[in-house]
Structure 1
Amino acid sequence: MAGVAVALLAWYPGRWLAVLILLPAIWSTTCRRWSALSLWAGYYLTGARDIPVVCERFFAGYGDLSASTAFALGVVFWLGQALALAAPWAFLTPRAAEAPRAARALLAIMLVSLPPLGTIGWLSPIYVAGALYPGWQLAGLLLGMCMLATAARIRQSRAALRVGALLIGAAVVAHLDGHRPELPSGWIAVDTSLGRLDQRDYETLHARFVATMQTAQWGFESGAGVVVFPEELVGVWRPAMRYWWRDYLQQLAMSNRTLILGVDLEEEGSISGRPISGEPFLRYTDSAVIVGAGYGRFDSRQPVPVGLWRPWASVSATRGSLMQSYLKIAGRRAAFSICYEDFLWWPHWRLLIDRPDLLVSMSNSWFNADLSLAHIQQQSVYSIAQLTGLPLLRAVNR
């Protein structure tokens, strides 16, 4: 029940990420691994409670599975992720009074936040750093981890109480010293309500192209110089798609306007003609492409596992390089967070040491826009932007 309560207070509907400090404090008092497992499993089960419904809508929506099978698979994922993320905390439970609780807490945090387990590292306690030390980047992250480690020792050490007081004082300074970052002038993000993209025929794709272009034109006519669209809004960037967009993109280039589109880019040579389960072998990147007056691309460093990233299957997204640099767009350095990356810390490592001008988040939430998961995703990426002191520009398709 403690894990459930913290999840509801920290994440939607509570939105008070500072209460994540309570988790290591409670965990440090447990002497049995089953107690620690139940604490953290309750937290992860509650925070990720929408996984069964999301799986049902996603896989049934694309016709991969029947609704009942997709829901059952979602239940397996829901239970599995909670046990996997709770396991390090259970294994590292301090079973003796002299156990190094702070070191164990830090090790558990790193295990659940960094790959390989960090591939599903949503709801990480690290998000407390954004709530406590806005704008302090790497220093804020380190102080946030120190706060979590100190909470694990708070009942066993008077020194931990003094350190905790100092860390709280630093948090007060961070909030007093901080300022609200402003978005660059002329940049807008466009939320759309186009739903799921059906790529089975060109008529449907062309209708999506027309709707997207008209929406983009509305954004530019309102005075914007850069318009950002959601992730995967137009699907695979086929030759036909490039042809439809060609004239409009030339107009944008001539008028010095830039469009940021969410597309899937086929990897060269990925369609080998070798049938697997009756389908061609296809690899693609879930990308943000810059067109019009600018040029560039940014690939998702971690597409959503099983949904898009499934290397064992005939069709799968691939992971972009963690070393991708910021993109220079309309004179500004822009960092990107593409959909599932909103939930994770490790893809954004560069933000901790080199601050760009803004963070652009692109998401496609046609299958979860009405669920708590969509609010938790927004909280997660906002916490990242808050810690790094960046203005956040976010485009979502519902």
Structure 2
Amino acid sequence: MCRDYLRPALLILASIAVGVVGWSGHVLLLPVALGFPLLWSFSRSRSVAALVSAGYFLAASRGLPQGVATFYSSDIWPGLLLWLCASLGFVAVHLVLWTNKESVRPFRYFLAAVIMTIPPFGITGWAHPITAAGVLFPGWGWWGLGFMTAGLAGLVTRIWPAVAIALIGLWLWTAASWTEPHLPNGWRGVDLKLGASLGRDVDLHRQRDLVATVRNAASDGARFVVLPETALGFWTPTVARLWTGASGDTDATVIAGATMVDATGYDNVLVAIDRNGGSSILYRERMPVPGSMWQPWRSWFGESGGARADFFTNPVVSIGGRRAAPLICYEQLIVWPILQSMLHDPDFVVAVGNGWWTEGTSIVAIQRAAATAWAKLFAKPLVIAFNT
């Protein structure tokens, strides 16, 4: 009787450890997440597979309750509710597709991995083990993604020890020679530490401080300066005139986050302000944060508000004669936005975020690690700009 309970308990504890370590925010630890499919396949019943899936997902996204509480200035309960609700999709997919038939188990896990990559389940497809492809197969591009997928399927077969040894060998090899993605020539990402005031404090003094920050970066030779998500606050004609007027005093083109509001809702965007005094909307976020930003249920009740999700539009943007793959905040935690962008073979990746609300959690570190892994997989330069 004790043995019947010991094995499931050990599997669940191991899945929690895999989620915590794999998604600790250190890019070279991402391959630890490959332990999840192994533990899922070791489950001897559907209920144990569900608990293993829940343990992994909840551990990997453990910063969400505290982050939500900080964002809404509330107690922990709304964050806990969102945390549990977000896990339902991941658990349901792996619950339904679990099987004790070894012959079909690789196909079932492959199907689960694909489902958690693309909408609708991919909308909350955090902590996807395939993100580790950038650590194990840096520079291999789509071939690396294919080998990573085959490796994940191989971990749920009888030959899993051989597959695990091969993947561990690759992990050690790449870790020994690891280098961070380099910046594109002439580009500079500016990290800020302005907390919750960024994007909310939009007075003239704040805007002038940001202009001065851009000028300092440009004085070091940067021709393109990237500011974090929502750095400019609401993008209005007044703010546009201020920045286009200031751009005449510098040789740098500014790429900055902003918010565009209308009667039906708002867009989370990146704007480009060039050295010739022009400005334009460069990118509209494809997948805002579900719940706190993207609230599609409002339209069901005839209400307006919430951020718009542009899903599969503008996967790459042109700037300075080159093509960039933009990722705003939440898009760095899920898989399909970066893969959609890479289908268009961009020249580099631009990742921005405003993570003031994640203080005390590893969320921003995880976003950085994921963006770094994807840039390494496809051998693309990476520009990162975060506010904390």
Question: TM range, normalised to the smaller chain?
Answer: 0.7 to 0.9
Q: Which residue, 137, 150, 155 being the options, matches 1:151? A: 155
1:317 is matched with which residue? 307
Residue 369 (structure 1) shift: 3.9
Q: CA deviation at 1:115?
A: 0.8
**Against the structure 1 CA distance between its residues 178 and 371, is the aligned structure 2 distance closer, same or farther, given a 3 Å change threshold?**
closer
From 8, 19, 26, the equivalent of 1:7 is 19
One of 302, 305, 320 as aligned partner of 2:290: 305
Contact 1:197 1:235 in 2 (8 A): no
Aligned partner of 1:278 in structure 2 is: none
- Pair 1:340 & 2:330 matched: yes
**CA drift at 1:365:** 0.8
In structure 1, which of residues 289, 304, 317 is the aligned counterpart of residue 271 of structure 2? 289
The answer as to whether partners of 2:15 and 2:39 remain within 8 angstroms in 1 is no
Q: CA RMSD in A?
A: 2.7
More moved, 298-307 vs 173-182: 173-182
The question of 1:261 aligning with 2:256 is answered: yes
1:72 is matched with 77
1:228 to 219, 226, 229: 226
Give the 3 Å change call, closer, same or farther, for CA 106–352 of structure 1 in structure 2: same
Partner of 1:279 in structure 2?
none
1:57-77 per-position Cα deviation (integer Å, ceiling 9, x unaligned): 1122xxxxxx13xx2111111
Distance 1:135 1:175, change over 3 A: farther
Q: Distance in 1 between matches of 2:312 and 2:247?
A: 29
- Percentage of matched positions with identical amino acids: 31
Deviations 1:294-324 (A, max 9, x none): 7541111101111211131532111225241
Q: Distance in 2 between matches of 1:25 and 1:120?
A: 22
Quote how far apart the aligned CAs of 1:167 are: 7.0
Tell me what 1:192 maps to.
Answer: 192
Inter-partner Cα distance in structure 2 for 1:109 and 1:261: 34
- TM-superposition CA deviations, 1:271-305 (whole Å, max 9, x none): 2xxxxxxxxxx322111111123754111110111
Q: Write out the 4+ residue segments of structure 1 that deviate beyond 4 Å after TM superposition.
A: 160-181
Once the 2 structures are TM-superposed, how far is the Cα of residue 172 of structure 1 from its aligned partner? 8.6
In the alignment, which residue of structure 1 is the partner of 2:93? 88
1:94-131 deviation per Cα after TM superposition (whole angstroms, max 9, x unaligned):
234x4511001101111222110111111011112222
Deviation for aligned residue 1:371 = 1.6
Partner amino acid, structure 2, of 1:395: A
8 Å contact 2:265–2:307 — kept in the other structure? yes
User: For residues 176 and 193 of structure 1, what CA distance do their matches in structure 2 show?
Assistant: 32
Within 2, Cα distance between the matches of 1:128 and 1:204?
39
Check the 8 A contact 2:198/2:230 in 1, yes or no.
no
Aligned residues of 1:36 and 1:93 also touching (Cα < 8 A): yes
- Measure the CA separation in 2 of the matches of 1:199 and 1:352: 30
Counterparts of 1:168-247 in structure 2, within 5 Å, are 181-197=181-197, 204-247=202-245
TM (norm. structure 2) is: 0.86
CA contact (8 A) 1:283 1:316 kept: yes
Letter in 1 for 2:306: S
- For 1:75, the aligned partner's letter is L
| Contact 1:355/1:390 (8 A) holds in 2 | no
User: CA distance change for structure 1 residues 199 and 367 in 2, over 3 Å: closer, same or farther?
Assistant: closer
Within 5 Å, give how 1:354-365 maps onto structure 2: 354-365=344-355
Contact 2:316 2:341 in 1 (8 A): no
Q: Amino acid of the residue matched to residue 40 of structure 1?
A: S
In structure 2, relative to structure 1, the CA distance for the partners of 1:178 and 1:207 (3 Å cut) is closer
Verify the 8 A CA contact 2:331 2:337 in the aligned structure 1. Answer: yes
CA shift at 1:169, angstroms?
Answer: 7.9
Aligned partners of 2:25 and 2:368 also within 8 Å: no
- The correspondence for 1:33, drawn from 46, 49, 60, is 46
Q: CA deviation at 1:383?
A: 1.4
8 Å Cα contact 1:136/1:174 also seen in 2? no
Contact 2:22 2:60 in 1 (8 A): no
Give the letter aligned to residue 292 of structure 1.
Answer: D
What is the SS of the residue equivalent to 1:376? helix
Inter-CA distance 179–379: structure 2 relative to 1 (3 Å threshold): closer
Which amino acid in structure 2 is aligned with residue 301 of structure 1? R
Distance 1:198 1:190 in 2: 13
Question: What CA distance in whole angstroms lies between the structure 2 residues aligned with 1:261 and 1:235?
Answer: 10
2:356 corresponds in structure 1 to: 366
SS at match of 1:215: helix
Question: Are residue 44 (structure 1) and residue 57 (structure 2) matched?
Answer: yes
Gaps of 5+ in 2: 1-12
Given the superposition, is the C-alpha separation of residues 332 and 20 from structure 1 closer, same or farther in structure 2, using an over 3 Å criterion? same
State the 1:145 CA deviation. 0.9
* TM-aligned CA deviation for residue 356 of structure 1: 2.2
Structure 2 CA distance for aligned equivalents of residues 111 and 230 of structure 1: 31
